[in-house]
Amino acid sequence: MTDGPQLGFDTLQIHAGAEPDPATGARQVPIYQTTAYVFRDADHAAKLFNLEEVGYIYSRLTNPTVAALQTRIAALEGGAGAVCCSSGHAAQIMALFPLMGPGRNVVASSRLYGGTITQFSQTIKRFGWSAKFVDFDDHAAVAAAIDDDTRAVFCEAIANPGGHISDLDAISAISDAAGIPLIVDNTTATPYLCNPIAHGATLVVHSTTKYLTGNGTVTGGCVVDSGKFDWTANDKFPSLSQPEPAYHGLTFAEALGPMAFTFHSIAIGLRDLGMTMNPQAAHYTLMGIETLSLRMDRHVENAQKLAQWLDDDPRVDYVTYAGLPASPYADLVPKICPKGAGALFTIAVKGGYDACVKLVDSLEIFSHVANLGDTRSLIIHSASTTHRQLTPEQQEAAGAGPSIVRLSIGIEDAKDLIADLDQALTKATS
């Protein structure tokens, strides 16, 4: 089978990266549960280690099951290549690693998952990196935040937790003008609802833990490279544009062209950071992706029904779902997410913090968990959990204030979900 633009999304999500196993004829991608691979001879081994030939050396770097997943996600995103890793947080570090250096910064949206804000505001300081958080609805502020030390712009296609949609065309125009890559976290949208590369993104990151796997069984991450960025256009990215001492002076951009970032992420990123995805996790995610479009259609259908019902409920102050006609992001939905505004949004519950706690404790079908993108409907009070480490100001900026709960709408019967929310809201606000 040829993976290419002539194939539809539904076909690619099943077939991309998967061929019958040459040894056994197995139709499903096998789990290659092995750490190492036998070389044909000494010359073959040398070529692999010199990046002169593509193949398998050691499963910290490459594994056939993981490689199939990488190919599939790259095909769905329209990228040149992809590298999978152990989690979504690992994918974010993997995306930044070839770009950044001591004293360099990333300009990031203030509307990000709370763990990402903590990673960017605290943890990356240990590498000598820093982040500037900006309201990405204010395009002039994004452009003004970029300085000579900025090496990337980072946002989410559909922001977690509020479901706000980023105007990727406008943001990519700003990053292009500055000569730096735009990195888009597409976890919440998935490639079915949004194609960031078509809107100018250089790199796309995923927590494959979420909708791609879809069943809450394994963690994983992925970085997809568009293959369209010219790493040699300026001197800002020496890891890719200058000779690499560890590979006898090989220059990744020169030697590998559109695959430069992907090969660097494997040959250096996975080699030295070790954020490897295990083959069993890759297998679960491959199986999950086979039904991605079917699930996402149901997720969106249910989310639209529940958001509208909640928006009409007097016990709720407001709903942030971009699919509602009154949303300030409604005009961006047909442009950025033409198949729907996703299934993640927040509601402000009357009664504040205490009412939110009572709500999550009273639900019976919704699960109170620190996750999203499951087939099951999920809820969390971000201010007391995922965004707990942030200051009150950061919580508000991220759309996770004390009166807010985040809903991840699953694929159950919508009327059952509404009934569950109805009884829980009654208990929470009585």
Q: Name the least confident of 209-213, 243-247, 261-265, 388-392.
A: 388-392
Residue 110 Cα to chain centre, angstroms: 16
Is the distance from CB of 256 to CB of 268 less than 8 angstroms? Answer: no
Please give the structure tokens belonging to residue 341: 């505004």
Is the distance from CB of 365 to CB of 423 less than 8 angstroms? Answer: no
Q: DSSP 3-state assignment of 349?
A: strand
Nearest Cα residue to 140 out of 100, 167, 113:
167
Q: Tell me, what DSSP letter sits at residue 36?
A: B
Mean pLDDT of the chain: 95
Instruction: Give CA–CA dist 79/261, Å, rounded.
Output: 11
Nearest Cα residue to 239 out of 224, 223, 256:
256
Query: Which pTM value belongs to this model?
Result: 0.95
Within a 13 Å sphere around the CA of 211, how many CA atoms are in the beta-carbon half? 30
Query: Residue 147 — left, alpha, or beta (φ > 0 → left; ψ -120 to 50 → alpha)?
Result: beta
What is the share, in percent, of the chain residues with pLDDT greater than 70?
A: 99
Q: What are the tens digits of pLDDT across the range 275-332?
A: 999 999 999 999 999 999 999 999 999 999 999 999 999 999 999 999 999 999 999 9
Sorted by where each starts, the structural domains of the chain and their CATH numbers stand as 9-288 (3.40.640.10), 292-429 (3.90.1150.10)
Is the pLDDT at 9 greater than 80, yes or no? yes
Is the distance from CB of 136 to CB of 171 less than 8 angstroms? Answer: yes
CB count within 10 Å of CB 332 equals 20
Q: Stretch 9-27: mean pLDDT, rounded? A: 92
Q: What is the pLDDT of residue 390?
A: 77
Q: What are the tens digits of pLDDT across the range 74-100?
A: 999 999 999 999 999 999 999 999 999
Nearest Cα residue to 39 out of 60, 20, 58:
58
Q: What is the pLDDT of residue 182?
A: 98
Sign of the CA dihedral 15, 20, 26, 31?
negative
Q: What are the tens digits of pLDDT across the range 225-242?
A: 999 999 999 999 999 999
Q: Which residue has the tokens 């190919």?
A: 71
Instruction: Give CA–CA dist 83/261, Å, rounded.
Output: 9
Residue 133 Cα to chain centre, angstroms: 18
Is the pLDDT at 115 greater than 50, yes or no? yes
Nearest Cα residue to 88 out of 178, 184, 200:
184
Q: What are the tens digits of pLDDT across the range 335-349?
A: 999 999 999 999 999
Is the pLDDT at 260 greater than 60, yes or no? yes
Q: Name the least confident of 45-59, 211-225, 254-268.
A: 45-59
Distance set, CA 107 to CA 110, 123, 135, 267, 344 (Å): 9, 15, 10, 27, 24
DSSP string, 370-429: S--S-SS-EEE-GGGTTTTTS-HHHHHHTT--TTEEEEE--SS-HHHHHHHHHHHHHHHH
For residue 203, what pLDDT band results from cuts at 50, 70 and 90? very high
Instruction: Give CA–CA dist 153/100, Å, rounded.
Output: 12
Q: DSSP 3-state assignment of 154?
A: strand
Q: Stretch 3-31: mean pLDDT, rounded? A: 88
Q: Which residue has the tokens 């599939």?
A: 72
Is the pLDDT at 21 greater than 90, yes or no? no
Q: What are the tens digits of pLDDT across the range 27-57?
A: 999 999 999 999 999 999 999 998 989 999 9
Instruction: Give CA–CA dist 357/372, Å, rounded.
Output: 18
Q: What are the tens digits of pLDDT across the range 385-426?
A: 877 777 888 877 777 888 999 999 999 999 999 999 999 999
Within a 13 Å sphere around the CA of 351, how many CA atoms are in the beta-carbon half? 17
Is the pLDDT at 3 greater than 70, yes or no? no
Per DSSP, the chain holds a count of helices (H) and strands (E) of 18, 12
> 3-state SS string over 212-252?
CCCCCCCCCEEEEECCCCCCCCCCCCHHHHCCEHHHCCECH
Q: What is the pLDDT of residue 5?
A: 52
Query: Residue 25 — left, alpha, or beta (φ > 0 → left; ψ -120 to 50 → alpha)?
Result: left
> 3-state SS string over 316-332?
EEEECCCCCCCCCCHHH
